[in-house]
């Protein structure tokens, strides 16, 4: 891949995003997901539609055998309980030990002290990517409780730009803040992904699903985590845009988004991709 600092236009972004999607379709990476009960279905279906192979494996007794065989790991704290916390930490440590990238979704990080403390412990285990909405990234970066309503964001992504950069610098993770513009940073570079439709916010667990898709893309391009994260967000957003052409509301958008992801072709990727440098 070319030096991305020199990249100028969406034609080149589109070609690279298309190649990344083709790689997922060809190699069908096994992605271990330790996720919340709400998201399991849409997350597994999103990964399958993109060409990856999802496995919702969360028993701590299975981590030693299973995690080293997965290509990537997605950890999501949406319906956190103490026993799952143990599994999450064991899986993150095992992924690091076996040099597998792993992605953290800090769902509702600022909603309770329990959640925040567990999140901070997971961040200490060095996620490759952290993807949250703006309220989650603001809370996590400031380790602050109480400013979020729950799992939905009360902020727009740009509100969390400085927090995301600071979090990325401190943790060495790529940090992605989703929203109308998804902001993705390694602490130095910032890219904005402007694909997607507002109605995606009205389908539960779209954020969780795109975090798992990031895990699949990053699993195959671990040395280009910033770019792979952008491509996953762009591909998911483009599927939303195409799905919206047939949808009548959130329920049908969910179905058409998954169909569009499955059928996404090169021409659509090249014409729809909307990535730009943000800094």
Ligand X SMILES: Nc1ncnc2c1ncn2[C@@H]1O[C@H](COP(=O)(O)OP(=O)(O)O)[C@@H](O)[C@H]1O
Ligand Y SMILES: Cc1ncsc1CCOP(=O)(O)O
Contact residues toward Mg ion (CB under 5 A) are 107, 207
User: What span, in angstroms and rounded, lies between the C-alpha atoms of 34 and 95?
Assistant: 13
Q: Which residue is nearest to Mg ion (CB)?
A: 207
What is residue 177's DSSP assignment? E
The answer to whether 17 and 237 are in contact (CB under 8 A) is no
Considering the complex, state which of residue 213 and residue 225 has its C-beta at the smaller distance from ligand X: 213
* Among residues 50, 88, 122, 151, the one that binds ligand Y under rule CB under 6 A: 151
Indicate the DSSP class of residue 190: E
Instruction: Compute the distance between CA of residue 51 and CA of residue 23 in angstroms, rounded to an integer.
Output: 9
Q: Look-up: residue for tokens 């996590």?
A: 140
Picked from ligand X, ligand Y, Mg ion, none, the partner binding residue 54 (CB below 5 to 8 A depending on kind) is none
Enumerate the β-bridge partners of residue 243.
Answer: none
38 binds, among ligand Y, Mg ion, ligand X, none (CB under 5 to 8 A by kind): ligand Y
Choose, by CB under 6 A, the member of 32, 39, 171, 268 that binds ligand Y.
Answer: 39
Q: Which of 208, 218, 232, 273 binds ligand Y (CB under 6 A)?
A: 208
Q: Residue 182's beta-bridge partner residues?
A: 193
User: Which of 218-233 are b and which e, b meaning 16 or more Cβ less than 10 Å from the residue's Cβ?
Assistant: bbbbeebbbbbbbbbb
Q: Rank residues 90 and 161 by Cβ distance to ligand X and give the closer one.
A: 161
Query: Which of 54, 78, 110, 179 is close enough to bind ligand Y by CB under 6 A?
Result: 78
d(CA 142, CA 38): 27
By a kind-dependent CB cut-off of 5 to 8 A, residue 36 interacts, out of ligand X, ligand Y, Mg ion, none, with ligand Y
CB atoms < 10 A from the CB of 56, how many?
16
Nearer to ligand Y, 43 or 224 (CB): 43
* Partner whose footprint covers residue 78, from ligand X, Mg ion, ligand Y, none (CB < 5 to 8 Å by kind): ligand Y
CA torsion angle 234 236 241 242 (round to 10)? 120
When asked if residue 154 is in the footprint of ligand Y (CB under 6 A), the reply is: no
Applying CB under 6 A, the site for ligand Y has a residue count of 12
Summarize as ranges the residues that interact with ligand X (CB under 6 A): 133, 152-153, 178-180, 182, 196-198, 200-201, 206-207, 210, 233, 236-237
**Residues 159, 163: Cα–Cα separation, whole Å:** 8
From the centroid of its chain, how far is CA 142? 21
24 or 205, CB closer to ligand Y? 205
Residues that bind ligand Y (CB under 6 A): 36, 38-39, 78-79, 107, 151, 204-208
């Amino acid at each position: 891949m070319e030096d991305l600092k020199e990249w100028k236009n969406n034609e080149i972004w589109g070609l690279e995003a298309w190649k990344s999607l083709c790689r997922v379709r060809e190699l069908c990476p096994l992605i271990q997901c330790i996720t919340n009960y709400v998201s399991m279905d849409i997350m597994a279906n999103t990964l399958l539609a993109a060409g990856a192979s999802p496995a919702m494996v969360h028993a701590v007794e299975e981590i030693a055998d299973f995690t080293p065989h997965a290509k990537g790991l997605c950890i999501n704290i949406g319906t956190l309980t103490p026993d799952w916390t143990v599994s999450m930490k064991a899986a993150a440590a095992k992924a690091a030990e076996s040099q597998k990238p792993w992605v953290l979704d800090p769902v509702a990080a600022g909603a309770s002290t329990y959640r925040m403390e567990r999140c901070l412990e997971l961040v200490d285990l060095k996620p490759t990517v952290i993807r949250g909405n703006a309220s989650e990234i603001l809370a996590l970066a400031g380790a602050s409780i109480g400013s979020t309503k729950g799992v939905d964001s009360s902020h727009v992504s740009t509100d969390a730009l400085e927090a995301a950069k600071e979090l990325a610098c401190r943790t060495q993770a790529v940090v992605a803040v989703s929203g109308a513009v998804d902001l993705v940073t390694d602490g130095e570079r910032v890219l904005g992904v402007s694909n997607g439709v507002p109605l995606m916010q009205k389908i539960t667990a779209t954020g969780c699903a795109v975090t798992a898709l990031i895990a699949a893309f990053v699993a195959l391009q671990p040395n280009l985590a910033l770019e792979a994260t952008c491509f996953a967000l762009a591909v998911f957003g483009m599927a939303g845009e195409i799905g919206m052409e047939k949808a009548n509301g959130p329920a049908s958008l969910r179905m058409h988004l998954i169909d569009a992801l499955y059928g996404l072709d090169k021409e659509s990727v090249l014409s729809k991709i909307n990535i730009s440098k943000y800094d």
